[in-house]
Structure 1
Amino acid sequence: MSHREIMEALSGLLLGLFVAMLSSTVVSNALPRIVGDLEGSQSAYTWVVVATLLTMTASTPIWGKLADQFNKKLLVQAALIIYVAGSLIAGFSHTMGLLIGARAVQGLGVGGLTALVQVVIASMVSPRERGRYSGYIGAVFALATVSGPLIGGLLVDSVGWRWCFFVGIPVAVLAFVVLQLTLHLPVVKRQVRIDYLGATLLMSGVSLLLVWVSLAGQHFAWVSTTSGLLVLGGLVLLGLALLVEARVASDPIIPLRLFRDRTTTLATAASVMVGVAMFGATVYLSQYFQLARGMSPTHAGLMSIAMVGGLFVSSIVTGRIISARGRWKRFLVGGMVLVIVGLALLSRIDATTSLVYVAVAMCVMGVGLGASMQNLVLAVQNNTAQADMGAASSVVAFFRSMGGSVGVSALGAVLSTRVADSVSDQLASLGISTSGISSHAVPELSTLPPTVRAVFEGAYGEATGHLFLLAVPFAVVALVCVLAIKEVPLRTTVERSDERDHSEPVGASALQPVPADRVR
């Protein structure tokens, strides 16, 4: 395919990816207002984010498997329809429970969009050229990240937070139409069986552990019968999932044989750590700007430009250099070093830190994320046979989202507990009665007396800095994994040279290419 043909096919995919990323970023600055209006707690704030991450994580490997069996364009369009349905339900929600459920539906669509874009590109472009197009993906990610908070802030301050869920629907419809007109791929069916049992056990186990992490300390003690049952149940389910994947499933949702490749194993481990550091820390930045610095949602959205600007430039530049030279490891290493530095700088912030300092730290972390996030997927795809491309690409995305889910949930629990303890202690030392004030609730600052407001702002500022400090070790582990990866120059063909010379990988023995005419 020529560059023009690839860009035409890519246009609808990038619109779909923009919608997927927008679903998270556009709501970030609205969350304090949403949770306040629907009378939610800090744990509810966390679960509005975790619900999407969890279903996205659960569905990503399934979408990857489906891509090996069905028309990829129809799958992307199906993901867009699911996203629109979830957005409509979320926009009309009147309770936190319904909103969290709607966000879970959105996550199913987002999982399809994020996984399938990588799979489709891998079926069109060689790894050597893929760095160039990965740069476009990073740019779209950055655009959605920078415009989302701004759009969300403006909507919240003007027409209301419900439009944060409606605004993505026209873009999703446009993506659907553009895909219909521009994406024409031959269908190559591979005989696969989707391991629904393994996926269900895996997500059930993870969900129980996330429920325990996010609710312990508030609704029940960390050391209690409820905690013990949740932890034991989660571990048992994860053990059963591992057993099913290794011994029972003929075509497992997470093919364990992929981890025989050292690059895949190390890149996957790094993706988990990047997910914890990136999602777990940055999701609370909007809350910091609004609750610790008293900014409006629009102003908080403007503050995100520093990090996203760095991510935008970094992803474009590194993608082009990697395509030109075929070497990628130095950018992964440099990117992870910058992520660590950015997190370390942000760990020192509180409610009085200079905003210039905060912006510089965010920019450093953004540059690091832009140089490392997409290139972890590229490193895995370069070592993967074409028959396994859907599964391998989705596995990396799966574990990155898994790390994000754990990070958001765990750090949200830490934030809630730390803020609650700090607020209670400070109000007591000032002789202010805490009756009628819930230290676990997300406060509406404008309704609080000046003294109480200052206490909440100080507590959120200090606690947010602490979250970034907790994220640093995870980024360090990711750097160690990246350093251990052996660099293999990017190949210039879509398929590996040994795919036709050796026995085919499992799942590739029944290739059934569709005859000459293309499927639209």
Structure 2
Amino acid sequence: MASDTQDDISDNQPTADSHPIISPTTTEKATFSAQCKPHKDAIKTVFIMVAICLASFPAALDATMIPTALPTITETFQASDSSFAWIGSSFLIGAAAAMPLWSKTSDIFGRKPMLMGASLAFIAGSILCALSRTIGILILGRAVQGMGGGGLMVLPNIIISDLFSMRQRGLFLAIVGMVWSFATAIGPIIGGSFTQYVNWRWVFLDQWSVALPIEGLSLVLIFFLLDIPKPDVPVIEGLKTIDWIGGIALVGATIMLLFGLQLGSSTHLWKSASVVCLIIFEALIFIFAFVYEWKFASCPIVPIRILKNLSNLATLIVCVTHGVVYISVAYFMPLYFQIVLGYEPFLSGLWGLILTFTLAISTVVPGFYIFSTGKFRVPIWIAAIFLTCGLGLFIDWRAYRSDTRMVFFQVIAACGIGPLFQGPLVALQAHLKPVDIATGTSAFVYLRMLSAGISIIVGQVIFQNDMHKKLQMFRDMGLEDTLSGILSTGFAVSASSAVERLSEGSQKAVKEAITDSLCRMWTFYTIVAFLGAVVSIFIAAKAPSARRDKVLADENHGIHTGTIADDHGGVDTA
């Protein structure tokens, strides 16, 4: 760790070889970004930033708008709890799978056409979801939507990195972050309002009806104002830099793992041939993907070399644990509000504002602290403690309304979730060599999205397993065998209306059972958060460079790194 604190910041500065997409063998052909100077025209800069923020808005809105509507959607289709989870996971896994593709193809064909393609994919997925008549089509639509959303998440950041110097970049990325915070805050209200007062399909219709004019205006502004030369990279050579094998293997193994977990917890025994085969083949494919990424991939999604540094490894583990935990709050807290407390979707969205507004503040404030001081370890440590405590408090949810719990628990959890979006990324970049900054950042975002997609399924499996153990208890309550079977075999979410029709005593007992199963799930997430807190101790500090003035002079040339960079070139050594 001592050696880490003595590294000169020049090791972490962008060079001509630090292009985020193209491999070192083609870097010379991809220096178009280094030719882009910071914008001097303030009005033009404002319009470009408006366009970039508009492009990001629909994908940001999805994060909190859809979870509020999910219990109603699941009940409408009389779908299983597994389907509830896949509606969320398919979007996240689709986004994770598509992010590297959007990034690298944008270096081949240019930013403008790829941003347009991502927008069209997102709109097409939204329409498919809105018109779906089966849960399978809805999940497919969510996957398509996620693939488009992945582009809308990654391309605006790449464009900002193309246009602005490292010092300017922090400010403009913070502006995009504020747009995300605003969309996250209003998402529960919009989702709850449409679900309760119109129809859940309007949640998706609203997405594409909002996305169409917003993305249209964004693309028009970008088309006329964005001056980024198209890179002179041959198509075939550029496509070869995409890690097709590694990407397909990682996503395929993940899906096999999730299917195996779900089958083992519901329709099949854990020792059944289907489950065993899925788990075994998943493990073999993961091993293959690891070896391929390590030994053979020219541009791996997750470069093994960056994991050799203990601080980098710790940072990526914190990223994964954060991805697992934060998405659980976004998806399962509205479920608790609606199926246990009996709140309508709109009221559920209102209560969710406590989380989202606190999350917005807790994301921005530490970000400015890191930006102004260069110190990232203390915010990460404090946030990790808050996150562990917040999820631990969730275990104390009750089957009745407690305003104190609902306010206090959400605030504590949000104070832990927010800072961990940006802090670990800055920590990772502080310890990467120039040639690894963009690749490491891509791996960071990829792992967060993939772990979030896995998290929803794992949480649902834990909940479903515990509900299955309560079958005899439901029968002892005097519930009909049909309802007892529904509750204990993976259809608890879609049975919420039937539960509301029970007698007061039976209804209370069932809701206590559901709350107890949810608490088992929160226990798992608390353990994951605690693991992240422990591992965060190994994130090393980086000393400020004595050559900071020279670095800042270099930054004024607007050299491209494709990442959110630490403007100070170092962090505290405390």
Q: Please classify the TM superposition score into its range, dividing by the shorter chain length.
A: 0.7 to 0.9
* Larger-gyration structure (1/2): 2
The Cα of 1:496 is off from its aligned counterpart by 10
For 1:447 and 1:349, the matched residues in 2 are separated by: 22
Q: Do the aligned partners of residues 126 and 487 (structure 1) sit closer, same or farther apart at CA in structure 2, a change above 3 Å counting?
A: farther
Q: Do the aligned partners of residues 130 and 160 (structure 1) sit closer, same or farther apart at CA in structure 2, a change above 3 Å counting?
A: same
Q: Percent of pairs identical after alignment? A: 24
For 1:156 and 1:125, the matched residues in 2 are separated by: 41
Structure 1 partner of 2:180: 141
- Kindly provide the CA deviation profile for residues 275-325 of structure 1, in whole angstroms up to 9, marking residues without a partner as x: 111113431111100001000000000111111111111222222222222
Structure 2 partner of 1:428: 475
Say which is worse superposed, 381-390 or 156-165, in terms of deviation: 381-390
For 1:323 and 1:282, the matched residues in 2 are separated by: 27
**Which of residues 474, 491, 502 in structure 2 aligns to 1:450?**
502
- Specify the code of the residue in structure 1 equivalent to 2:457: S
8 A Cα contact 2:395 2:523, kept in partner: yes
TM-score, length basis structure 2: 0.80
The Cα of 1:238 is off from its aligned counterpart by 1.2
For 1:331 and 1:493, the matched residues in 2 are separated by: 26
The Cα of 1:24 is off from its aligned counterpart by 3.3
- Specify the code of the residue in structure 2 equivalent to 1:445: S
Structure 1 partner of 2:540: 486
The Cα of 1:72 is off from its aligned counterpart by 2.5
Question: Quick check: 1:181 aligned with 2:181?
Answer: no
Q: For the aligned residues, what is the CA RMSD?
A: 2.8
- Kindly provide the CA deviation profile for residues 176-218 of structure 1, in whole angstroms up to 9, marking residues without a partner as x: 4224414433445676411212211111111100111123121
Partner of 2:298: helix, strand, or coil? coil
**Which of residues 193, 199, 213 in structure 2 aligns to 1:160?**
199
Structure 1 partner of 2:376: 328
Structure 2 partner of 1:242: 290
For 1:408 and 1:324, the matched residues in 2 are separated by: 36
- Specify the code of the residue in structure 2 equivalent to 1:301: G
Say which is worse superposed, 72-81 or 175-184, in terms of deviation: 175-184
8 A Cα contact 1:133 1:319, kept in partner: no
Gaps of 5+ in 2: 1-37, 556-560, 562-574
For 1:217 and 1:169, the matched residues in 2 are separated by: 35
- Kindly provide the CA deviation profile for residues 377-423 of structure 1, in whole angstroms up to 9, marking residues without a partner as x: 2333444466555432221111111221221111111112223433x
- Kindly provide the CA deviation profile for residues 125-145 of structure 1, in whole angstroms up to 9, marking residues without a partner as x: 555555444443443333222
Q: Do the aligned partners of residues 333 and 366 (structure 1) sit closer, same or farther apart at CA in structure 2, a change above 3 Å counting?
A: same
For 2:430 and 2:160, the matched residues in 1 are separated by: 13
- Kindly provide the CA deviation profile for residues 238-259 of structure 1, in whole angstroms up to 9, marking residues without a partner as x: 1222222223333333333333
Partner of 1:112: helix, strand, or coil? helix
- Kindly provide the CA deviation profile for residues 211-238 of structure 1, in whole angstroms up to 9, marking residues without a partner as x: 1112312111123222210111101111
- Specify the code of the residue in structure 2 equivalent to 1:24: A
Q: Do the aligned partners of residues 350 and 215 (structure 1) sit closer, same or farther apart at CA in structure 2, a change above 3 Å counting?
A: farther
For 2:550 and 2:194, the matched residues in 1 are separated by: 44
**Which of residues 341, 345, 358 in structure 1 aligns to 2:393?**
345
For 2:47 and 2:543, the matched residues in 1 are separated by: 28
Structure 1 partner of 2:565: none
8 A Cα contact 1:129 1:323, kept in partner: no
- Specify the code of the residue in structure 1 equivalent to 2:85: T
8 A Cα contact 1:130 1:378, kept in partner: no
**Which of residues 398, 405, 420 in structure 2 aligns to 1:372?**
420
- Specify the code of the residue in structure 1 equivalent to 2:418: G
Question: Quick check: 1:304 aligned with 2:358?
Answer: no
Q: Do the aligned partners of residues 372 and 300 (structure 1) sit closer, same or farther apart at CA in structure 2, a change above 3 Å counting?
A: same
Structure 1 partner of 2:339: 291
Partner of 1:284: helix, strand, or coil? helix
For 2:472 and 2:39, the matched residues in 1 are separated by: 65
Structure 2 partner of 1:103: 142
Say which is worse superposed, 461-470 or 361-370, in terms of deviation: 461-470
For 2:51 and 2:309, the matched residues in 1 are separated by: 33
Structure 1 partner of 2:85: 46
Gaps of 5+ in 1: 500-504, 506-520
**Which of residues 128, 140, 156 in structure 2 aligns to 1:89?**
128
- Following superposition of structure 1 onto structure 2, how do residues 508-519 of structure 1 map, counting pairs within 5 Å? none
Structure 1 partner of 2:402: 354
8 A Cα contact 2:384 2:533, kept in partner: yes
Say which is worse superposed, 172-181 or 409-418, in terms of deviation: 172-181
The Cα of 1:370 is off from its aligned counterpart by 1.4
Structure 1 partner of 2:442: 394
- Specify the code of the residue in structure 2 equivalent to 1:184: D
TM-score, length basis structure 1: 0.88
8 A Cα contact 1:134 1:319, kept in partner: no
8 A Cα contact 1:6 1:124, kept in partner: no
**Which of residues 55, 73, 82 in structure 2 aligns to 1:16?**
55
For 1:408 and 1:316, the matched residues in 2 are separated by: 26
Q: Do the aligned partners of residues 135 and 197 (structure 1) sit closer, same or farther apart at CA in structure 2, a change above 3 Å counting?
A: same
Say which is worse superposed, 187-196 or 327-336, in terms of deviation: 187-196
Partner of 1:486: helix, strand, or coil? coil
Task: Give the total of aligned pairs.
Answer: 499
8 A Cα contact 2:78 2:494, kept in partner: no
Say which is worse superposed, 93-102 or 370-379, in terms of deviation: 370-379
- Specify the code of the residue in structure 1 equivalent to 2:80: S
- Specify the code of the residue in structure 2 equivalent to 1:450: L
Structure 2 partner of 1:230: 278
8 A Cα contact 2:39 2:164, kept in partner: no
